[in-house]
Copies of this chain bind each other. A is one copy, B any other.
Amino acid sequence: MPQSLTDVYAIILAGGSGTRFWPLSRETCPKQMLQIVGEDTLLRQTIKRINGFVPPENIWIVTTEDKAQDIKFHLEPLGPMAKEIQFIREPIGRNTAPAIGLAALHIMHVSPESIMVVMPSDHVIPDTEKFLSDLRLAIQGAEEDYLVTFGIKPSQPETGYGYVKVDNSSRMELNGFLKVDCFFEKPDLQTAISYLSDGSYFWNSGIFVWKTSQILSEIRNHLPALYQTLKKIESLLFTTEKPSIPQSLPVREAGAIPNPQWSMLYTNLESISIDYGVMERSQNVLMVPATFQWSDLGSWAALDEIVKKDDAGNILRGNTIDIGSQNSIVFSGERLVATIGLKDMVVVDTPDATLVTPKNQVQEVRRIVEVLRQSGREEHLIHKTVERPWGSYTVLEKGQGYKIKRVVLKPKARLSLQLHKRRSEHWVVVAGTAKVTKENETYLVHTNESTYIPINTKHRLENPGEIPLQIIEVQNGDYVEEDDIVRFSDDYGR
């Protein structure tokens, strides 16, 4: 074991875009930010799972620059500990090997003797106790300079996962570890059936434990080009004289401001997974056979493995009425979805888009997202309701020259002091009381009262009360997009 758990760092990979859960997932709301299974979102569950095992300041999230702000906002419900969580911002996603390398680079500078626990942000692991128990074992292996992975005993011939083959002959010698023989990509069904009957194949969970120094050494051996670039990035980010103190920033904020110089270097890296780039090539890999239940939730159909079904095998959520369906998944929100006699179908409804597909074709949802992207539409980008640390807003309607929003402000929250160059805004208060700043004037607007913010006028909306403030905002102008905003002061560092 490391001297203390303050030497263990949890690296949560949260750069995924999660098109496979469209229309519930969007570019600005990827799978890890969805509450699909369990009491919280997958990312917040991942953090809760490890929080306490390591101190919150040892939890580092690696994500892309464009997602970082949304993810920071997304962590607010975790309370004060959320502010301790560190962010490493990639200029752009380059798969897991560069992301892990970049994280290792940063951690080496704060704790050269550290152990890294690398976890995806969007997997389901219902039993935290078993997970932590297995993790303790894995850390022992990492202490011995092994790269340790977790393998899941297959329950069916799954074609959606990669596999790890172990060398069964060595089982006894290794104190609960299995020596890894080989990694395999997602197999076809025939191969998956043979893996299942063989008994020495495990699902590759994508959760890894190793010494920070060891993974950098393995990257140097197996991915020398990546290693060279990482060294260049390191020289741009940190002084070599004082390895544990960054040049100009607190080290933990070093990744917060992508620098044009290292951005370019990182962007030019080859996209490659750590499995393919390092794990498959290293002779130094052990596997812990997981005692915990696990799913990577690779698609809507994967809910079947992990969510309790009704007597007819259905998973029905939200505003649904069903007559006689079987083995189907129906996800609705506030709108009504009525289903009759479905068999092995998936129906997912959101305020602006609905998906209907047989379970065995859910992987094709990627193609729908591709069509949306190519045709310049918005249903893959953003939800109608956007959560913010101060509350939320919902686009009720957008028309020629106008947009209507419902804006909800939490008690005591306020928006930034801002102005819009191309639109005016009418605000009608429908619940609570608003404190409005308009240029040099400040006044209250009560329920059933309204106010008007002309174009090019500095303004701020604030909820001084104890109940949520709800306003209906009617925007008028020749351009009514979110990016027409000049912020003068913001409580959320924007």
Contact = CB atoms under 8 A, between A and B. Distances in A.
A204 interface: no
B352 A340 contact: no
Interface string A463-482: 00000001010101000000
Nearest to A23: B338
A462 interface: no
Interface residues of A, number: 56
Contact of A321 (B347, B358, B372): B372
Given A341-B361, A356-B337, A426 B424 contact: no
B426 A323 contact: no
A29 interface: no
A472 B427 CA distance: 12
A364 interface: yes
Contact of A338 (B335, B368, B402): B368
A342 B360 CA distance: 11
B353 A356 contact: no
Given A340-B364, A352-B336, A404-B404, A399 B470 contact: yes
B358 A342 contact: yes
Interface stretch (A139-147, A256-264, A445-453): A445-453
Contacts of A357: 339-342
B452 A476 contact: no
25 contacts: A324-B364, A335-B352, A336-B353, A336-B377, A336-B379, A337-B356, A338-B353, A339-B355, A339-B356, A339-B357, A340-B356, A340-B361, A341-B358, A341-B360, A342-B356, A356-B356, A396-B396, A397-B406, A399-B406, A401-B447, A426-B426, A426-B428, A428-B476, A447-B476, A450-B450
A345 interface: yes
A292 B404 CA distance: 49
Interface string A384-405: 0000000000001101111010
A321 B372 CA distance: 9
Contacts of A396: 396-397, 404
Given A338-B354, A356-B337, A367 B431 contact: no
A162 B356 CA distance: 34
A401 B347 CA distance: 32
B452 A450 contact: yes
Nearest to A424: B448
- How would you classify the secondary structure of chain A's contact residues: helix, strand, loop or mixed? strand
A430 interface: yes
Interface of A: 23, 321, 323-324, 335-343, 345, 347, 349, 351-358, 360-362, 364-365, 367-368, 371-372, 377, 379, 396-397, 399-402, 404, 406, 424, 426, 428, 430-431, 447-448, 450, 452, 470, 472, 474, 476
A126 to B, nearest CB: 29
A320 to B, nearest CB: 10
Contacts of A404: 396, 404, 406, 472
A48 B476 CA distance: 42
Contacts of A406: 397, 399, 404
Given A428-B426, A430-B401, A450-B452, A368 B356 contact: no
Nearest to A364: B340
A483 to B, nearest CB: 21
A383 B339 CA distance: 19
Contacts of A474: 428, 430, 450, 472
A343 B364 CA distance: 15
Contacts of A430: 399, 401-402, 474, 476
B323 A338 contact: no
A25 to B, nearest CB: 13
Contact of A476 (B355, B399, B448): B448
A452 B445 CA distance: 14
Contact of A356 (B347, B361, B367, B377): B347
Contacts of A476: 428, 430, 447-448
B323 A368 contact: yes
A357 to B, nearest CB: 4
Given A426-B450, A448-B424, A476-B430, A349 B354 contact: yes
A342 B346 CA distance: 11
Contacts of A447: 401, 476
Contacts of A345: 356
A354 B339 CA distance: 8
Contact of A354 (B354, B360, B367): B354
A317 B337 CA distance: 19
A187 B377 CA distance: 49
A323 B361 CA distance: 10
